[in-house]
A and B are shown apart, each in its own frame.
Chain A
């Protein structure tokens, strides 16, 4: 066995084996992302978000909220935004538990990426749905409210478990209802504040930042009773 047949690769070119390894890594990465998204039922979540966008479109187009005061006018769109936040939170539920945590070193990035991507997609879908009519507060308020409520949903998932991530946004929705009806001014109830309100925006950003860090690093709470199939 000699080295007579070997050739030094030309400068600037990638060795064929290294290129193959990189392709393999990219394919494995894509597969990992795809499997992660499937395990989190992201396709179903996307379908639900599209449905919520359609409901928002219908609510604004047919003016389901035409009557009542300012609080009443905002409430149906806010309920739909909260529903979108709840869907994103529930999509954080992972069925694999300990094996996934032990083997998946990319898991924090996958959790973070999925949450951010779903939030961005939800914002786009709801903004498209809002084109049917005049959205109270406009796009800026939609971004702030949806982002903040997604943060509450992810915090809820971290505390109660991914499957119960909807509980936090639902509780917050009822708090908003009381705040709107009784003219509360605290920035922690940011949907009750004007769209350009700095305090409300800061509170929403704090909540979403804390939630993203928590969900990425720690993940949603897992119950040993509910580990199993990814239903």
Chain B
């Protein structure tokens, strides 16, 4: 016996291993055991079907392309419910399998182990979301979609996925039932659709925080030039990320509150995390209540960085129409032939007249709206085209159908004539309408076709009818090409070209100023 005790104890030298933290090893195990990868092919298919496919039927500009999937949050609604459901399934795993007591007795606090399980679920979901979004944008880039992608909105989507995974996980952890996954998934779906619906009646204030609310914020991008002339403002996305991150923190903190989660200090930490999350979410709601819609998007003063206001520099794409240089942003390069074809006849018609433009250049369309699509100004006169406000030729998303090139050309000519005679935002005075009608006729649009052209111009405030009273903006339907205005226009058009040009050269200033009445026309 004594010999036995005197035998020296041989200590086994520890194996040299990589210094991998135990948490990382556990995370690796959870990543391998997570149920999330099994649902990802389905999410990918839905992403293609519901987010990517409808967007390809819109104009190839990022603001328009991403309105459906980023602005209205369809990328989130394709991922969120499934992520919440699977996260609930993972959160309820131990209790569902009758292992809750067993894992509670292990050395690692229960809450820490749960957080690792959640982290593995969230990592899969966020990685997949980012991958799908990148593939979608890569596809857009291959098509030559103009502008820059709205990366801030992608970040909002990724944060929403984290929030859904955390909320779903909390549901599963608290209610380890077979119904937990379904409840989490459909709860997430209902929350998102309500968020979408609330935006219709609350386009400002607190409702801007809702992740699938495009009203009052992203909806402007569909007819503006964010990511083309100016940057996507990060203010609202940052506020939404704060809100979603706050929800995620609060949900995860809740899972650490029960007695089995760990020691007293750990539970106090969990309570602090919950409170911090609620505070963060509440702060974000408070911040969006101070938001203003400016020309370049939603600005939240406390979050606004003035460097975001720096315009995007570019080398314009130029062409010529009736000898006049027409320059567009390169994002609109594909429509340059349509624009020059549209402008050539009207520019030729007004060449040599007072105020005839010597150059045409594109200007950004603004969020606040209300500006004219075509304006003229400066000495010498420069034609300013705000093409972002128009439905451009080609696929048109939610329009009745694709926009034909001839339709677009007609709108440009109509708006040019309206601007040239100084009609401003409305239909203009009768004399302005008559002169405009003559210019359009000279540009190849007969009187009879003009009311129909005006009726088809649906997404800008134009001269809706030559028969409407002066300064009418909307609400006056197109009438037939008859009446006093068209009678005067007919008389002017019947004059010899030289005489008509001479009359116009002498009276255009008066027509623009509203000093010439219909009876003053020859």
B344 to chain A, nearest CB (A): 37
Q: B8 on the interface (CB 8 Å rule)?
A: no
- Closest B residue to A52 by beta carbon equals B186
Q: 1/0 contact trace for B162-199 toward A, CB 8 Å?
A: 00000000000000111101110110011001101100
| CB pair B82 A167 closer than 8 Å | yes
Whether A76 touches B98, Cβ cut-off 8 Å, given contacts A44-B179, A65-B197, A178-B50, is: no
Q: 1/0 contact trace for B190-229 toward A, CB 8 Å?
A: 1001101100110000000000000000000000000000
Give the number of residues in B that approach A within 8 Å (Cβ atoms): 35
- On chain B, the residues within 8 Å of A170 by CB distance are 81-82, 85, 185-186, 189
Q: 1/0 contact trace for A68-105 toward B, CB 8 Å?
A: 10001001100110110011001001000000000000
List CB contacts (< 8 Å) of B251-300 with chain A: none
Residue with the greatest number of chain B CB neighbours at <10 A, chosen from A44, A80, A231: A231
| CB pair A166 B182 closer than 8 Å | yes
Whether A163 touches B178, Cβ cut-off 8 Å, given contacts A67-B201, A79-B193, is: yes
| CB pair B197 A166 closer than 8 Å | no
Q: Determine the interface band of chain A, counting residues with CB < 8 A from chain B.
A: 35 or more
Q: Kindly identify which residue among B78, B178, B190, B201 contacts A90, using a CB–CB cutoff of 8 Å.
A: B178
| CB pair A82 B186 closer than 8 Å | yes
A154 to chain B, nearest CB (A): 14
| CB pair A231 B78 closer than 8 Å | no
A119 to chain B, nearest CB (A): 16
Q: 1/0 contact trace for A164-194 toward B, CB 8 Å?
A: 1111001101110110011000000000000
Q: Kindly identify which residue among A44, A67, A163 contacts B197, using a CB–CB cutoff of 8 Å.
A: A67
Complex Cα distance, B183 from A18, in Å, reads 48
- Closest B residue to A40 by beta carbon equals B178
| CB pair A90 B179 closer than 8 Å | yes
Q: A11 on the interface (CB 8 Å rule)?
A: no
- Closest B residue to A45 by beta carbon equals B179
| CB pair A68 B190 closer than 8 Å | no
Complex Cα distance, B186 from A48, in Å, reads 12
A149 to chain B, nearest CB (A): 12
Q: A128 on the interface (CB 8 Å rule)?
A: no
Complex Cα distance, B185 from A44, in Å, reads 17
Q: A64 on the interface (CB 8 Å rule)?
A: yes
Q: B135 on the interface (CB 8 Å rule)?
A: no
Q: A8 on the interface (CB 8 Å rule)?
A: no
List CB contacts (< 8 Å) of A40-69 with chain B: 41, 44-45, 48, 55, 64-68
| CB pair A178 B193 closer than 8 Å | no
Complex Cα distance, B183 from A79, in Å, reads 12
- Closest A residue to B182 by beta carbon equals A166
| CB pair B197 A90 closer than 8 Å | no
Q: 1/0 contact trace for B90-127 toward A, CB 8 Å?
A: 00100111100000000000000000000000000000
| CB pair B178 A76 closer than 8 Å | no
- On chain B, the residues within 8 Å of A64 by CB distance are 194, 197
- On chain B, the residues within 8 Å of A182 by CB distance are 54
- On chain A, the residues within 8 Å of B97 by CB distance are 228-229
- On chain A, the residues within 8 Å of B46 by CB distance are 171, 174
B75 to chain A, nearest CB (A): 12
Q: B494 on the interface (CB 8 Å rule)?
A: no
| CB pair B179 A41 closer than 8 Å | yes
| CB pair B190 A79 closer than 8 Å | yes
| CB pair A167 B49 closer than 8 Å | no
A69 to chain B, nearest CB (A): 10
List CB contacts (< 8 Å) of B58-95 with chain A: 77-78, 81-82, 85, 89, 92, 95
| CB pair B190 A231 closer than 8 Å | no
Q: A147 on the interface (CB 8 Å rule)?
A: no
Q: B495 on the interface (CB 8 Å rule)?
A: no
| CB pair A166 B181 closer than 8 Å | yes
Q: B42 on the interface (CB 8 Å rule)?
A: yes
Residue with the greatest number of chain B CB neighbours at <10 A, chosen from A66, A162, A167, A228: A167
A121 to chain B, nearest CB (A): 16
| CB pair B186 A229 closer than 8 Å | no
| CB pair A173 B50 closer than 8 Å | no
B88 to chain A, nearest CB (A): 10
Complex Cα distance, B77 from A73, in Å, reads 18
Complex Cα distance, B401 from A134, in Å, reads 32
| CB pair B179 A87 closer than 8 Å | yes
Complex Cα distance, B196 from A167, in Å, reads 22
| CB pair B200 A86 closer than 8 Å | no
- Closest A residue to B189 by beta carbon equals A79
Q: B134 on the interface (CB 8 Å rule)?
A: no
Complex Cα distance, B505 from A171, in Å, reads 66
- On chain A, the residues within 8 Å of B176 by CB distance are 231
Complex Cα distance, B96 from A229, in Å, reads 7
- Closest B residue to A160 by beta carbon equals B38
| CB pair B54 A173 closer than 8 Å | no
- On chain A, the residues within 8 Å of B200 by CB distance are 66-68, 72
- On chain A, the residues within 8 Å of B178 by CB distance are 41, 90, 93, 162-163, 230-231
Complex Cα distance, B180 from A44, in Å, reads 11
Q: B39 on the interface (CB 8 Å rule)?
A: yes
Whether A66 touches B201, Cβ cut-off 8 Å, given contacts A90-B182, A163-B178, is: yes
Whether A174 touches B50, Cβ cut-off 8 Å, given contacts A86-B185, A90-B178, is: yes
- On chain A, the residues within 8 Å of B189 by CB distance are 79, 82-83, 170, 173
A78 to chain B, nearest CB (A): 9
- On chain A, the residues within 8 Å of B78 by CB distance are 174
- On chain A, the residues within 8 Å of B53 by CB distance are 178
| CB pair A181 B54 closer than 8 Å | yes
| CB pair B54 A178 closer than 8 Å | yes
| CB pair A87 B182 closer than 8 Å | yes
Whether A80 touches B190, Cβ cut-off 8 Å, given contacts A86-B182, A87-B179, is: yes
| CB pair A44 B177 closer than 8 Å | yes
B86 to chain A, nearest CB (A): 9
Q: A65-B197, A167-B39 are in contact. List 5 more A-B contacts (CB 8 A).
A: A66-B197, A67-B197, A68-B197, A90-B178, A90-B182
Residue pairs across A and B with Cβ atoms less than 8 A apart, 23 shown, are: A48-B183, A64-B194, A67-B200, A68-B200, A72-B196, A72-B197, A79-B189, A80-B190, A83-B182, A83-B186, A83-B190, A86-B185, A86-B186, A166-B182, A167-B39, A167-B82, A170-B185, A170-B189, A173-B189, A175-B49, A228-B98, A231-B92, A231-B176
Q: Would you list the 7 A-B pairs with minimal beta carbon distance, nearest first?
A: A67-B200, A166-B182, A83-B186, A231-B96, A86-B182, A90-B182, A178-B50
